[in-house]
Amino acid sequence: MHRIYLDNNATTPVLPEVFEAMRSYFGEQFGNASSIHHHGQQTRAAVEDARESVAALLGCRASEIVFTSGGTEADNLAIAGLVGAGDHVITSSVEHHAVLLACKHLEDIGAEVTVLPVDGRSLVDPADVRRALRPNTKLISVMMANNETGVLQPVEEIGKIAAEAGVCFHTDAVQSAAKVAIDVTRIGCQLLSISGHKIHAPQGVGALYVRKGTRLQPLFYGGRHERSRRAGTENVPGIVGLGKAAKIAKEALDCGDDQKMAAARDRLQQGILAQVEDAGVNGDGAARVPNTANIHFDHIDGEAMVIALDLKGLAVSTGAACSSGAIEPSHVLVAMGLRTDQARASIRFSLGKQTVAEDIDIALALVPETVARLRELSPKYTKHAVSTER
């Protein structure tokens, strides 16, 4: 069966060039990057080269990049590394669980947490951030792009508010890195998280940008790796892969590949909406990353739709991958004000670098026919159809 993968917000395939760049670090270039002999020097050079490439993608200095095991660790290091008992942190209701549950943990150990609401497009109001500030506010953590809707938050405005108040600003850029240009100075953040497997590098590697002078308590105790900010022998192949993926992403953004991605996403979105009644884009009207369309198809069950499409060879998602199979509807869609049934009837389509025009053509054929079939089976839709006829 020809399989089409439109679930790139869950994870992306490693690009062949990225895999090639990593290959020798599983074999002949095996040294511990902390060793002073030849083998260690080889891998140390590769790690530092990767650090330069990641820094170039984010617009910072190489020394401000801390490699981690992924986005979750980067988020936890940013939040738990900065906030302690008695401190106050401001975040939003649509954050990834890596942020929300890190904040919840801090609350359990005596920190104060304000979780800001969002509007119908899933946007945080910067005025709410300003109003939430307290004398003991230590950190504001608001994501750059949402993993479910792709909606971009007004991070530059929030960064200005944080700077005026002298409060640290962390943004989770796991879903925006490589999709939109990032400049940490323009955002005005002290901390920014990225993850390898969302940008066509391998799973299990990520990075946290830590602005020079920002003091973080490490999560792990051990060696003095990563300038004592993250103990543990470096994952050299993963870091090399992340560096290569960052370099490719930067070149692609400089060439305007994001515009091409947005055009493909818009064709998919518009094509679906033109063929399917009672459907709409979640987060419509807000700026979004170019690869994501989250659509609610009323009167269907999202999980049933994912399974039906998968049987036809199209991989999509009902929301965050880590909450798939959960009975609760997406906390993001509920926070935006969707009814529970609409949240459960929402499907996320997310494109990647490997997505071709033919994939979109096939999706445009499969999605409407699958929605129609599921609605035929849905008693609710029959009732709806009858009631609208009257």
Residues annotated as catalytic (active site), given as ranges: 322
Q: Of 46-54, 70-78, 113-121, 279-287, which part binds ligand PLP (CB under 6 A)? A: 70-78
Q: Of 119-127, 172-180, 284-292, 358-366, which part binds ligand PLP (CB under 6 A)? A: 172-180
Q: Of 46-54, 167-175, 233-241, 325-333, which part binds ligand PLP (CB under 6 A)? A: 167-175
**Does residue 98 belong to the site contacting ligand PLP (CB under 6 A)?**
yes
How many CA within 13 A on the CB side of residue 14? Answer: 22
Q: Of 24-32, 150-158, 169-177, 267-275, which part binds ligand PLP (CB under 6 A)? A: 169-177
**Does residue 175 belong to the site contacting ligand PLP (CB under 6 A)?**
yes
Q: Of 154-162, 170-178, 256-264, 375-383, which part binds ligand PLP (CB under 6 A)? A: 170-178
**Residues 184-223 interacting with ligand PLP (rule: CB under 6 A):** 195, 197, 206
The structure tokens listed for 237 are 């192949």
Considering the complex, what minimum distance in angstroms separates the CB of residue 387 from ligand PLP?
38
**Does residue 237 belong to the site contacting ligand PLP (CB under 6 A)?**
no
Query: Which residues, in sequence order, are CB contacts of 256 under 8 Å at separation 6+?
Result: none
Q: Which residue, 170 or 375, is less far from ligand PLP as judged by CB?
A: 170
Q: Which residue, 96 or 244, is less far from ligand PLP as judged by CB?
A: 96
The structure tokens listed for 93 are 């209701």
Q: Which residue, 9 or 378, is less far from ligand PLP as judged by CB?
A: 9
**Does residue 292 belong to the site contacting ligand PLP (CB under 6 A)?**
no
Under DSSP, is residue 273 helix (H, G, I), strand (E, B) or coil?
A: helix
Cα 344 vs. chain centroid, distance in angstroms? 20
**Does residue 75 belong to the site contacting ligand PLP (CB under 6 A)?**
yes
CA torsion 194-200-204-208 (nearest 10°) is -20
Q: Which of 72, 141, 149, 350 binds ligand PLP (CB under 6 A)?
A: 72
Would residue 174 be called left, alpha or beta, if left means φ above 0 and alpha means ψ between -120 and 50 degrees? alpha
Considering the complex, what minimum distance in angstroms separates the CB of residue 270 from ligand PLP?
25
| Other beta carbons less than 10 A from residue 130's beta carbon | 16
* DSSP notation for 122-157: SPPPHHHHHHH--TTEEEEE--SB-TTT-BBP-HHH
Q: Which of 44, 88, 96, 265 binds ligand PLP (CB under 6 A)?
A: 96
Considering the complex, what minimum distance in angstroms separates the CB of residue 203 from ligand PLP?
7
Query: What are the beta bridge partners of residue 207?
Result: 67, 194
Strands 137-141 and 88-92, how do they pair? parallel
How far, in Å, CA of 220 to CA of 225, rounded?
11
Considering the complex, what minimum distance in angstroms separates the CB of residue 52 from ligand PLP?
21
DSSP secondary structure letter of residue 330:
P
How far, in Å, CA of 317 to CA of 293, rounded?
11
**Does residue 174 belong to the site contacting ligand PLP (CB under 6 A)?**
yes
Site track 20-59 with ligand PLP (rule: CB under 6 A), x = hit: ----------------------------------------
* DSSP notation for 94-115: TS-HHHHHHHHHHHHTT-EEEE
Considering the complex, what minimum distance in angstroms separates the CB of residue 258 from ligand PLP?
18
Residue in the structure block whose two tokens are 């904040």 = 103
Backbone torsions φ then ψ of 154, nearest 5 degrees: -75, 65
Residue in the structure block whose two tokens are 């960064």 = 159
Tell me if 171 sits within 8 A of 191, measured CB to CB.
yes
Backbone torsions φ then ψ of 361, nearest 5 degrees: -55, -45
Q: Which of 70, 126, 159, 238 binds ligand PLP (CB under 6 A)?
A: 70
**Does residue 172 belong to the site contacting ligand PLP (CB under 6 A)?**
yes
Tell me if 42 sits within 8 A of 325, measured CB to CB.
no
Of 155, 160, 156, 128, nearest to 142 by C-alpha is 155
Residues contacting ligand PLP: total by CB under 6 A: 14
Considering the complex, what minimum distance in angstroms separates the CB of residue 172 from ligand PLP?
5
Q: Which residue, 113 or 151, is less far from ligand PLP as judged by CB?
A: 151
**Residues 110-149 interacting with ligand PLP (rule: CB under 6 A):** 143, 147
Interacting residues toward ligand PLP by CB under 6 A: 70-72, 75, 96, 98, 143, 147, 172, 174-175, 195, 197, 206
